[in-house]
Homo-oligomer: A and B are copies of this chain.
Amino acid sequence: MTEGPRPRPTLRDIATALGLSVNTVSRALGDKDSVSAATRAAVQAEAARIGYVPNTLARSLVLGSAMTLGLVITNPSNPFYAQLISSIELRVRAQGYSLLLLVTDESVENEQRATEALLRSAVDGAVVVPVQAEWDHWRRVRDSGIPLVFVNRDVPELGCDMVGVDYERGSYEATSHLIAGGARRLLLLEEDLPITTTADRITGFRRAMADAGLKVSDDQVRAVPTKRYDSLALPWQPEEAYRFAQTLLTDGHPDGVVTGNDYFALGLLRALAERDLAVPRDVAITGYGDHPYAAYLQTPLTTVRLPAAEVGTTAVDLLLQRLKAGAERPRKTLIRPELVIRASAPDRQAITTDR
Q: In which size bucket is the chain A interface?
A: 35 or more
Q: Is A250 an interface residue (CB 8 A)?
A: no
Contacts of A180 in B (CB 8 A): none
Q: Say whether A53 contacts B293, CB under 8 Å.
A: no
Q: Say whether B71 contacts A101, CB under 8 Å.
A: yes
- CB < 8 Å neighbour of A266 from B60, B232, B238, B293: B293
CB distance from A11 to the nearest CB of B (A): 14
Q: Say whether A86 contacts B93, CB under 8 Å.
A: no
Contacts of A85 in B (CB 8 A): 76, 85, 101, 103
- CB < 8 Å neighbour of A309 from B87, B98, B232: B232
Give the distance in Å from the alpha carbon of A59 to the alpha carbon of B156 in the complex.
35
Q: Say whether A298 contacts B297, CB under 8 Å.
A: yes
Contacts of A234 in B (CB 8 A): 292
- CB < 8 Å neighbour of A86 from B6, B103, B242, B292: B103
Give the distance in Å from the alpha carbon of A87 to the alpha carbon of B293 in the complex.
24
Contacts of A79 in B (CB 8 A): 77, 79, 82
CB distance from A172 to the nearest CB of B (A): 26
Q: Say whether B55 contacts A122, CB under 8 Å.
A: yes
Contacts of A140 in B (CB 8 A): 51
Q: Is A89 an interface residue (CB 8 A)?
A: yes
Q: Say whether A57 contacts B60, CB under 8 Å.
A: yes
Contacts of A102 in B (CB 8 A): 89, 93, 99
Chain B CB within 10 A, most for which of A77, A238, A263: A77
Give the distance in Å from the alpha carbon of A327 to the alpha carbon of B122 in the complex.
32
Contact with B along A119-154 (1 / 0, CB 8 A): 111100000000000000000100111000000000
State which residues 76-107 of A face B: CB under 8 Å. 76-77, 79, 82-83, 85-87, 89-90, 93, 98-103, 105
Q: Is A302 an interface residue (CB 8 A)?
A: no
Across the A-B interface, the 3 shortest Cβ-Cβ residue pairs: A5-B145, A298-B298, A101-B101
